[in-house]
Amino acid sequence: MAIETSLILFKPDAVEGNIVGSVLSRYEAEGFNIRGIKMMQLDDPILTEHYSHVADEPFFPQIAAFMSRSPVIALALEGEDVISRVRNLLGPTNSKEADKGTIRGDYGTDMMTNVCHASDSPEAAAAELKRFFKNDEIFVS
């Protein structure tokens, strides 16, 4: 198993619903380590870059409005195969399809209000971590 670092974004529904601690404790219970964490307000440039794969779609303004309606919490999370393991803990992107016991199955409501974004590959994680963290904001053990 490879040691990886993934970007997790606690979305506005998680922050507003005061469930960040509950979800974070699930990650820690899996043995993952926090390497960086910060609260930030997302603006149009970072949202357009982060969602560049759908920025031209008609539903992008809804995503941007949702993701900027309150601060998010960016988390750099490290562990063995953290990328795939976190995605399994989260469940499917559409919370309506997520089983109870997964984070989205327990806390999410639909495709957009689904608690957290998580990197889906090592390449995406590297790019996303650079997007949300400066080099001196991620700490190694």
Query: Domains of the chain, with CATH numbers?
Result: 3-7+30-137 (3.30.70.141)
The pLDDT of residue 141: 73
Question: Is 60 in a helix, a strand, or coil?
Answer: helix
Q: Smallest Cα–Cα separation from 111: which of 72, 32, 54, 43?
A: 54
> First and final CA of the chain: distance in angstroms?
18
Local confidence pLDDT in tens for the 141 residues of the chain:
799 999 999 999 999 999 999 999 999 999 999 999 999 999 999 999 999 999 999 999 999 999 999 999 999 999 999 999 999 999 999 999 999 999 999 999 999 999 999 999 999 999 999 999 999 999 987
**In whole angstroms, what is the distance from residue 76 CA to residue 130 CA?**
10
> Which residue type is seen at 140?
V
The pLDDT of residue 108: 97
Active-site annotation, residues: 117
The pLDDT of residue 23: 98
What pTM did the predictor assign?
A: 0.96
The pLDDT of residue 114: 97
The pLDDT of residue 83: 98
